[in-house]
């Protein structure tokens, strides 16, 4: 049963009559007439993009259902049916025809090959170019007397020393201690001198400062200094691995307490201060498939529907694959689910009960019993309301599931976890 949009001037009763009229018109129709019984060829000759979602699900609408079987959202633009849809076959939106893993175009045989798959020569050449440019500027000003241009090989050595510092958990350690003849690490002294290391670190740049100011003024992007490097790395993340069927979208706080115009404060995070990065992650393999940096507001205008925009940006390269996207309540919305369906993707996520698409019957109530579950269906979207304890409700929105069933467990602690979503493991306990 598809969601109904109420036109201005129409009453809810009129919309309900239209709903029931459309149901009665479809009653008695043969599934073969609307294509719902069309078989899906398993060969590669049939493309999933050419098959419509309407050819898969056939819902038996009851024209004699009472008005209580239809719930209206608080925004009065969506009609939710409490009648479970009749499912004739596996939905095409849940079919995946791919194998997760390293694509055939990528050849890796060692840890170094994996590292160079992301830190490419193109990225290194850009860093070396602007680092040399900055080093020569400091040399002319007299701040770096002994500067000489670096190259790709030396910069890789410098990058290796930075990684070694992180591996040894050397935060707060004075730089002289690494080159100490008695207590230092011999690998540092064998790679380059301490002064050369400091010169490269001081000259390190990722872009042209003059062009950065012009571009920042034109685009308003506060991260223009590193945006090119960030984009190159993101492209490699997308092309170096084929993720599995379940993708989780969430935020990550990269801890940083230095000076930065788009540094954020999130008290719930361990580090509290840092740069927020939105990520699309394949949790089955622990692989980062896409990421986007949050750079704050553009001017004084607050972004509307930011969560929807972020998810669509992060999963656009997965369109048409039939994957499922798992989100937190910050991102989940009815509109997002419909947009992902157009991209041949499904959505499962916790929904905030303050959303207008939620009917009032699904909101927290003292009259609902503990560990009870209510279902509603609109179009291809399932809404679940679960009561873990009195006067508290957990809402789950899914375009992947259709059945009004939950797992049966006698253990109360186990039942309190039903219909909830675990974003880290990307598992849904609803069946």
Residues 86-118 have pLDDT tens digits of 876 777 777 777 888 999 989 889 999 999 999
The values of phi and psi at residue 351, to 5°, are -115, 135
Chain centroid offset of residue 360 CA? 29
CA–CA distance, 388 with 179 (Å, rounded to integer): 58
Indicate the helix (H) or strand (E) that contains 421. Answer: strand 421-422
For the segment 367-417, what is each residue's pLDDT rounded down to a tens digit?
888 888 999 999 889 999 999 988 899 999 999 988 887 766 544 444 444
What pLDDT is recorded for position 408?
A: 63
Tokens of 124: 């290194």
* pTM for the full predicted model: 0.75
CA–CA distance, 190 with 405 (Å, rounded to integer): 64
Residues 6+ apart with CB under 8 A from 225: 206, 207, 212
What pLDDT is recorded for position 68?
A: 54
One digit per residue, the tens of pLDDT, for the chain of length 431 reads 444 343 444 443 444 444 334 434 433 333 333 333 333 343 333 333 333 333 333 333 333 334 458 899 888 889 999 888 887 677 777 777 788 899 998 988 999 999 999 999 999 999 999 999 999 999 999 998 889 999 999 999 999 999 999 898 888 889 999 999 888 889 999 999 999 999 999 999 999 888 888 888 888 888 989 999 999 999 999 999 999 999 999 999 999 998 898 999 999 888 899 999 999 999 899 999 999 999 988 767 788 889 999 999 999 999 988 899 999 999 999 999 999 999 999 999 999 989 999 999 999 888 888 888 999 999 889 999 999 988 899 999 999 988 887 766 544 444 444 444 444 444 444 43
Pairing of strands 381-389, 392-398: antiparallel
Chain centroid offset of residue 189 CA? 43
Query: CB of 324 within 8 A of CB of 400?
Result: yes
Closest by CA to 94, choosing from 381, 345, 280, is 345
Q: What is the DSSP letter of 348?
A: E
**Number of C-alpha atoms within 13 angstroms, CB side, residue 284?**
14
The values of phi and psi at residue 271, to 5°, are -80, -20
Q: Where are the alpha helices (DSSP H) in 241-319?
A: 306-315
Q: What is the DSSP letter of 85?
A: P
The values of phi and psi at residue 341, to 5°, are -65, -35
Residue 408, by phi and psi: left (phi above 0), alpha (psi -120 to 50) or beta? beta
CA–CA distance, 75 with 335 (Å, rounded to integer): 13
Query: CB of 194 within 8 A of CB of 175?
Result: yes
Q: Where are the domains of the chain?
A: 12-94, 111-205
CA–CA distance, 430 with 184 (Å, rounded to integer): 55
CA–CA distance, 343 with 320 (Å, rounded to integer): 6
| Number of helical H runs and strand E runs in the chain | 11, 13
Burial class (CB in 10 A: 0-12, 13-18, 19+), 387: buried
Angle between helices 121-141 and 152-167 (to 10 degrees): 100
What pLDDT is recorded for position 4?
A: 38
CA–CA distance, 292 with 280 (Å, rounded to integer): 9
């Amino acid at each position: 049963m598809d969601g109904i949009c109420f036109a201005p001037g129409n009453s809810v009763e009129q919309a309900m009559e239209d709903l029931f009229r459309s149901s009665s018109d479809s009653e008695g129709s043969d599934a073969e007439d609307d294509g719902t019984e069309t078989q899906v060829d398993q060969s590669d000759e049939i493309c999933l993009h050419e098959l419509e979602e309407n050819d898969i699900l056939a819902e038996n609408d009851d024209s004699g259902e009472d008005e209580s079987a239809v719930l209206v959202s608080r925004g009065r633009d969506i009609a939710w049916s409490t009648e479970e849809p009749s499912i004739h076959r596996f939905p095409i939106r849940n079919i995946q025809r791919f194998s997760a893993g390293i694509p055939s175009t990528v050849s890796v045989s060692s840890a170094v090959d994996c590292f160079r798959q992301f830190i490419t020569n193109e990225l290194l050449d850009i860093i070396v170019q602007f680092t040399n440019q900055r080093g020569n500027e400091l040399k002319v000003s007299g701040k770096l007397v002994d500067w000489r241009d670096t190259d790709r090989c030396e910069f890789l050595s410098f990058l290796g020393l930075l990684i070694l510092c992180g591996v040894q958990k050397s935060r707060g350690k004075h730089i002289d201690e690494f080159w100490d003849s008695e207590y230092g690490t011999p690998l540092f002294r064998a790679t380059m001198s301490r002064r050369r290391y400091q010169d490269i670190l001081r000259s390190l740049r990722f872009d042209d400062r003059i062009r950065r100011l012009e571009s920042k003024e034109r685009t308003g992007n506060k991260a223009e200094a590193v945006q090119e490097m960030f984009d190159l790395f993101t492209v490699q993340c997308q092309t170096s691995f084929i993720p599995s069927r379940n993708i989780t979208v969430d935020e990550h706080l990269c801890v940083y307490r230095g000076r930065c115009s788009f540094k954020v404060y999130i008290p719930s995070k361990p580090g509290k201060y840092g740069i927020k990065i939105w990520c699309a992650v394949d949790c089955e393999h622990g692989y980062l498939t896409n990421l986007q940096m949050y750079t704050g507001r553009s001017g004084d205008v607050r972004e509307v529907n930011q969560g929807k925009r972020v998810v669509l940006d992060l999963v656009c390269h997965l369109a048409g694959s039939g994957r499922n996207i798992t989100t937190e309540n910050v991102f989940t919305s009815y509109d997002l689910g419909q947009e992902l369906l157009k991209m041949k993707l499904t959505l499962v996520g916790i929904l905030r009960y303050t959303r207008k698409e939620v009917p009032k019957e699904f909101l927290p109530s003292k009259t609902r019993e503990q560990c009870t579950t209510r279902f509603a269906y609109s179009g291809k979207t399932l809404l679940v309301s679960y009561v873990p304890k009195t006067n508290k409700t957990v809402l789950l929105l899914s375009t992947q599931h259709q059945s009004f069933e939950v797992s049966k467990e006698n253990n109360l602690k186990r039942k309190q976890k039903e219909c909830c979503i675990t974003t880290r493991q990307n598992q849904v306990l609803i069946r």
